[in-house]
Structure 1
Amino acid sequence: MIGDMQKWTPNVASIIEHAKQFHPTKEVVSRMVSGDIHKTNYEEVCIRARKLASALEKDGYKPGDVIATLALNTYRHLEMYYGISGMGAINHTLNFRLHPEQAVYIINHAEDKIIFCEVPFIPILEGLKDKLVTVEKYIILCDESEMPETGLKNVISYEEYLKDGDEDYSWADVGDDAACALCYTSGTTGNPKGVLYSHKSNILHAQAALTAMSIKPDDSILMVVPLFHVLAWGIPYFGPMFGLKLVMPGMQMEGEPLYDLIDKEDISLAFGVPTIWMGLLAYCRENNKILSSVKNTIIGGSALSLSTLQEFDEVHDVNVIHAWGMTEMSPLGTTNIPTPEMEHMSKEEKYAIQLKQGRPIYGVELKVVDDSGADLPNDGESQGHLMVRGPWILQKYFKAEKDAVDKDGWFDTGDISVLDEDGYMTIKDRAKDVIKSGGEWISSIDLENAAFGHPEVAEACVVGIPHPKWDERPLLFIVTNDGEPIEKESILDFLSSKVAKWWLPDDIIFLKELPHGATGKLQKFELRDEYNNHYMEK
C-alpha cells in the first residue's frame, strides 16, 4: 500500500524564498576583497538571485548546464548558490588553491560553460584560458566601474549581468532527484572525482544539520568554512532555512580581522577548520582578547587537538563541537554535541569524549568492518574500515560508469575507525597514506611521483607527520642516484612546477635506502614512527 501524501520534488531556491518571506531583514554580512564591510539581507539576496537566474535563462543557459564559481565567501557567492541552481543549472564550486593542471582537468571534465570569478583570481584563469575547452563566458564579481583589464574573452561584470534579470522570476520546476551542485575531491591518487548533489539531498542534509549541531534560531554564524569546499558544510542552505544571521570573512582569515568580525557582529556560532582557529586563538592570547559572544564552535576538516579544545573552553568559555564528514557525504556524518551526561563529568572525562568525531546524525548509518567485510563490534577497540550510507551520501562519482557503493549501498570512507558502545566514532588512521594539512588533502603518492621525476632522484617516499600549526605536513624522504645528498632547493624548485605550493614538503631528508617489506612495498610506518616529532621539535 502506498501512502496518500503529496509528491515532493523540491528546488533549493524554495529555501531563499522562505527566508525572504519569514526572515526578510535578517542580515548577511560580508567582508569584501577591498576590506570593506557589506551588509544585505535575505530579501535582497533572494531578489538578486532571481535576477541572476533570469539573466542566465535570457542568455541561453538551460537546466543541466554546469556553471562554475571561483569565488570567496561573500553575499554574491550566496546569490549564485540560489540563482544558478534555482534555474535548474548545476552550481560547480572551484577551489582557487588548485594546482593549474588539476584546475584544467576539473573545469573540462565538468564541462563548465560559465565561470564567475573574483577579481584577484582573474590571473589564474588568464593562465588557463587556452586549455579550457567548454567555457564560453567569464563573469567578474564586481561593479561595472571596478572592471579591470583582462585577457579573458567574453567578459562582463556581475552587476552589469544582473541588470537584465527579472526580479519577479519564477523558479524552475525541477525533476525528482534533479542535480543541484557539484564539488570535486582529490583525496586519493589519480584525477579528482566529482560529487554531484541533488536538490533533495541538499535540503534533507540541511534539515538534519539543524538538529545535529545545537543551532538556535537567534544564532549569528561566522562562516569561515569556504563556500567552494563541500557547499560550506550546508550553511548556505540551513542558514536561510532557519533565519540565521550569516557573517562571511572573504579573504581575511587571520586572527585580527576574524576577531574584529566576531566582536562587531556579535557572533555566537563559528564554523571552521582547526588551522584557522589556532590563528585566532594565538591572536587573542597575544593581545589579551576574549571571545565573549561566542557560545559554540563547530570544528571539522581535520582532527581536533586537546590544546585547542582546552583553550576554547578554559580561556573563552566556548563549547567545541567536533564534527566529521567528507565531500561524498554532503558533508556531515557525525557531530559531538553536549549531552546531559557530560554535565556531571570531570573535564578530563568530557574532553576525552569531545575529541572523538562524534555520533552519526539522523539519516547517516555507520559501521566498521574488517578486511573481509564482516561487521566489527562497537566496543571502542576493534579497528576497521568505516562504511557509511544515507540519503545525502554518494551513490557514484560524477560521470562514472560504476557505483561507488557495495551491493547493500555502503560507501567505504577510506578511514580506519572504531565505534564504541555509546555510538561515538573515532578515526584512528587513514586506509591510504593521504595527508590532511590545514583541512585540505595532499596525496603522498602523487607527491612521490612528482619527486621521482627529478633527474637525481632514485627513490622517493612521503609521509604525513604531526605539525604544530597545520595538523599534518608532508615530510619527503629521498634516495639519490649516487646515495649522497643534493641541494634541497633543487628538489623544491623542481616540485613547484608539478604540485600546488601548499603541497610542498616542509623538509627533505636524504637516506641511503628506504625501508621495504618482503614484497618490495615501502614500509611507511617505520619512517612515520621514527620521524613522528620531526616538525614538533623544530
Structure 2
Amino acid sequence: MLGLMQDRPLTLPHLLHRAERYFGHKEIATAGADGAVSVSTIGEVCQKVRRLATAFDALGLAADARIGTFCWNTVDHLALYLAAPCTGRVLHTINIRLFGDQIIYIANHAQDEILFVDRSLLGILWPLADELSSVKYFVVIEDGASNELPDDPRVLTFDGLLQNRPYDGEFRVTDEHRAAAMCYTSGTTGNPKGVVYSHRSTVLHSLAALAADVTGLSESDVVMPIVPMFHANSWGLPYAALLAGASLVLPGPNMDPAALLGLLADHRVTVTAAVPTIWMSLVPMLDDYDLSSVRFILSGGSAVPKALSQTYVHSIGVPLTHVWGMTETSPLATTGTPRSHHARLSEDQLAATRERQGPPVPLVQLRLADDNGAEQPWDDRSAGEVQVAGPWIAGAYYRSDANDSAFTPDGWLRTGDVGVCDEFGSLLLVDRTKDLIKSGGEWISSVQLENEIMAHPKVAEAAVIAVPHERWGERPLACVVVQPGESLSVEELIEHLTPRVSRWWLPDGVEFIDSIPKTSVGKFSKKTLRARFENYRFIGPSAAQPAEHST
C-alpha cells in the first residue's frame, strides 16, 4: 500500500519562493572591504537572483553549468547561493585560501564555466586566469576595494551583468536529486576531492539545522556566519537562515576581532558560528562589547578547548557549542547542545560535557569501527573510527577513482576521525587517525593532550605531534604558543599536566613557537609542523615507562 501524499520535489526553488514571499522585508547587513556596512533585504536579494537567472541564459551557460565563486561572506555571494541551483545549475564555492595550484586544479576539475570574484580578491585570482581552461567569464563583484579591473573581454562586472535583465517567472527544478552545489575538501593529502550536494540533501540539511537540539533557528534570530561561505557552504547557515526567515549579518573580508565584535554587538546578533581560532582571537576584547543578544555560538573544525568555552561562559554567559562534521557531511553531523540528563550537573560537570561533539543530528547515523571493521560499543571507552550515513552524507566523490577507500563496502563514510560514544550516543573525538600517537603499542590522543595544555592560563595555542622514538616507536612533542607578555618554562608546563593526564602521556619534548600554522579552513596544520620537526629527536629518558604501557 502506498501513501497518498502529493509528490513534490525537495528543491531549493521552494526555499527561494518562501523567503521572497514571507520574509522579503527581513534585513541582510554586509560589511565591505572599506569597513562600510550596507543593509539590504531578502526581497532585494531575490530580485538579484531573478536578474542573475536571465544573465546566465544570456551568457549561454549550460543548463548544468558550474558557477564558480571566489568570494567572502557578502549579500551578492548569497544571491549566487540561490541563483545557481534555482536555475538548475551548480554553485561551486572555491576556498580563497588555497594555493594557486590547488585553485587551478579545483576550477578545472569542476569545469567551471564562469567565476564570480570579489574585487578585493582579484590580486589572488587574476594571475591564475589563463590556466583556468573552462572559465569563459570572470565577473567582478564590488566590495569597496580599489583593485584595478583587468582590461580583458572575459571580465564583466556584477552590477553590469544585472542591468536590464528582469525575470518574473517561477523557478522550477523537478528532480530533487539534481546537483545543487559542490565543495572541494582542503586536500591535506593529495588533490582536493569534490563533494556534490543535491537539492534534496541541501533542503533536508537546512530543515535539520532548524531543530531545537541543533541550532533552533527561528524567524526572530539574527544570524552571523563567520565561518566562510566557501567552507562547506558556511555550515549550511545561509540556507537555514533563509528557510527560517532570520535576518543575516555577513562580515565580508574583514576578519579583524574588533570588526567582528562590532558587527555582533551593533546588529544584535543572536546566533553565530566560526572555528576555534576565531573565538580565541576575540577573547582579549570580549568585555569591551555588549554581546547580551547572543544566545548560541557554534564552534567546529577542530576541538574546542574547555578553557576557551569557559572563558565565554564567564564573559558573556554563553558557552561555545561543539558541532562536528566535514565537507562530506554537508557538514552538520553532530551537535553538543545540552540534553535533559545534563540538567542537574554542576558547572564543572557541564564544562566537561561541552568538550564532547555531541549526538548525531536527526537523520544521521553514526557508528565506531575498530581496525578490523568491527563495531565498537558505546561505553565511552572503546575507541574507533567514526563512520556516518544519512541523506546529506556523501556517497562518492566527483570524478573520482572507483573503489574509494573513504567509503565502506556497505556505503558508510569513513571520516578518519577517532572517537568514543557514551551511552546516550554523544560523540567525543579523541583524534584523527593520522594524528594519533602510538607509544609502546598504546594510543595517545593528541587532541586531549592539546586541550589540557591549553587549559594553562599562560598558553594561547598548542598542537601535539608524534616524533619517532627509538624505544617507544613514537612520543608526543608539544608545540606551544605562549600568551603575549607571559613567560612559561617546560617544567612549569609539565607540572601543570602531571595531575591531568597519565604519566606516559606527558610530552617528551616541548617547543615554544611564535604561532601554530593553520590550514586554509583555520585548523591546526600538523602536516606543516611534522615537516618542520621531521629531524627532531628526543634526548634523554622518556616519560614513558614499560609498566605504564602495559594493558
The bucket for the TM-score relative to the shorter chain is: 0.7 to 0.9
Contact kept? 1:230, 1:330, Cα under 8 Å: yes
Rounded to whole Å, the distance in 1 between the matches of 2:143 and 2:188 is 39
Contact kept? 1:143, 1:158, Cα under 8 Å: no
| Structure 1 counterpart of 2:396, one-letter code | K
Q: Which residue of 1 aligns with 2:275?
A: 273
| Structure 2 counterpart of 1:349, one-letter code | Q
How far off is 1:254 after superposition?
Answer: 1.8
Structure 1 residues 330 and 511, CA gap change in structure 2 (3 angstroms): closer
Rounded to whole Å, the distance in 2 between the matches of 1:39 and 1:462 is 50
Listed as ranges, the gaps of 5+ residues in structure 1 are 446-460, 470-487, 493-499, 516-525, 530-538
Aligned CA-pair RMSD: 3.2
For 1:359, what is the secondary structure of its paired residue?
Answer: coil
| Post-superposition CA distance 1:243-296 (Å, at most 9, x none) | 1111011111222111111111011111111111111121225xx445222121
Give the counterpart of 1:231 among 230, 233, 236: 233
How far off is 1:152 after superposition?
Answer: 4.8
Q: Which residue of 2 aligns with 1:136?
A: 136
Rounded to whole Å, the distance in 1 between the matches of 2:381 and 2:145 is 62
| Post-superposition CA distance 1:391-432 (Å, at most 9, x none) | 000010011243653232211100111111111101111112
Contact kept? 2:53, 2:167, Cα under 8 Å: no
What is the 5 A alignment of 1:85-484?
A: 85-142=85-142, 148-150=148-150, 152-211=152-211, 212-285=214-287, 288-402=288-402, 404-433=406-435, 465=479
Contact kept? 2:11, 2:176, Cα under 8 Å: no
Rounded to whole Å, the distance in 2 between the matches of 1:92 and 1:173 is 18
Contact kept? 2:273, 2:298, Cα under 8 Å: yes
Rounded to whole Å, the distance in 2 between the matches of 1:172 and 1:201 is 17
Rounded to whole Å, the distance in 1 between the matches of 2:94 and 2:113 is 13
| Post-superposition CA distance 1:92-122 (Å, at most 9, x none) | 0011111011111111111111110011211
| Structure 2 counterpart of 1:218, one-letter code | S
| Structure 2 counterpart of 1:305, one-letter code | P
| Structure 1 counterpart of 2:165, one-letter code | G
How far off is 1:201 after superposition?
Answer: 0.3
Give me the identity figure in percent.
33
Rounded to whole Å, the distance in 1 between the matches of 2:481 and 2:127 is 33
Q: What's the TM-score once normalised by structure 2's chain length? A: 0.79
Structure 1 residues 379 and 101, CA gap change in structure 2 (3 angstroms): same
Number of equivalent positions:
469
Contact kept? 2:265, 2:289, Cα under 8 Å: no
Structure 1 residues 306 and 142, CA gap change in structure 2 (3 angstroms): same
| Structure 1 counterpart of 2:244, one-letter code | F
Structure 1 residues 68 and 331, CA gap change in structure 2 (3 angstroms): same
Rounded to whole Å, the distance in 2 between the matches of 1:60 and 1:347 is 60
Contact kept? 1:464, 1:528, Cα under 8 Å: no
For 1:228, what is the secondary structure of its paired residue?
Answer: coil
How far off is 1:206 after superposition?
Answer: 0.6
Listed as ranges, the gaps of 5+ residues in structure 2 are 437-445, 451-462, 467-474, 484-512, 518-523, 545-551
| Structure 2 counterpart of 1:278, one-letter code | M
| Structure 2 counterpart of 1:429, one-letter code | D
| Structure 1 counterpart of 2:351, one-letter code | Y
Q: What's the TM-score once normalised by structure 1's chain length? A: 0.81
Structure 1 residues 506 and 388, CA gap change in structure 2 (3 angstroms): closer
Structure 1 residues 6 and 293, CA gap change in structure 2 (3 angstroms): same
Rounded to whole Å, the distance in 1 between the matches of 2:286 and 2:268 is 16
Contact kept? 2:12, 2:203, Cα under 8 Å: yes
Structure 1 residues 192 and 153, CA gap change in structure 2 (3 angstroms): farther
The farther-off stretch of 410-419 and 288-297 is 288-297
